[in-house]
Copies of this chain bind each other. A is one copy, B any other.
Amino acid sequence: MELFETIFSRRSYRGMYKDTPVPREDLKKIMEAALAAPSGCNKQTTSVIAVDDPAIMKELTALIADRPGFASAPAGIFILTEKKIAYRDRTFYIHDYSAAIENALLAVQALGYESCWVEGHITDADRIGRKMADILGVPENIELVCYLPIGLAAEEGTHVRKQPFEERAWFNGYRK
């Protein structure tokens, strides 16, 4: 799929998924896309775990049963981050994993699947991300910050409304 077509057609999907399995080669392509993103000072703070084992997916998605759409995906990619110092006292791990996630979401779109950036819900005070990390054997110094459900849409998705270009983009000066 062509880059701009992919970028402009991507959307966040919050509906139910079909139970059709996602071939491992597709999951691998999505993971490779994620890891190809740049990272601050090339610290490569992001790593990823894809889950396609139905029993493990069931255990993980039981933690987000209040979101039946996200919980219904046959596969998922879990984004891990290590809060490494890039230089002096500065870290860029949020930047790093966000760029990786965007690449992953574009790869998902190009391969014909649906996904959504599920982060706020799993990194909140109830620490669902940590519970997921424990199931996956992720050590304490590494945080699981995002779940990307992966699969085929079982229903129609929706598009959010965005502000027009003129409200967010200008040439040679602010609001020019």
Contact = CB atoms under 8 A, between A and B. Distances in A.
Contacts of A120: 40-41, 86-87, 90, 92
A165 to B, nearest CB: 7
Interface in A99-125: 99, 101-103, 105-107, 110, 117, 119-120, 124
How many monomers of this chain does the complex have?
2
Interface stretch (A30-38, A66-74, A149-157): A30-38
Interface of A: 1-4, 6-8, 10, 12, 24, 27-29, 31-33, 35-38, 40-42, 44, 46-53, 56, 80, 86-87, 90, 92, 94-96, 98-99, 101-103, 105-107, 110, 117, 119-120, 124, 136-139, 142, 160-163, 165, 167-176
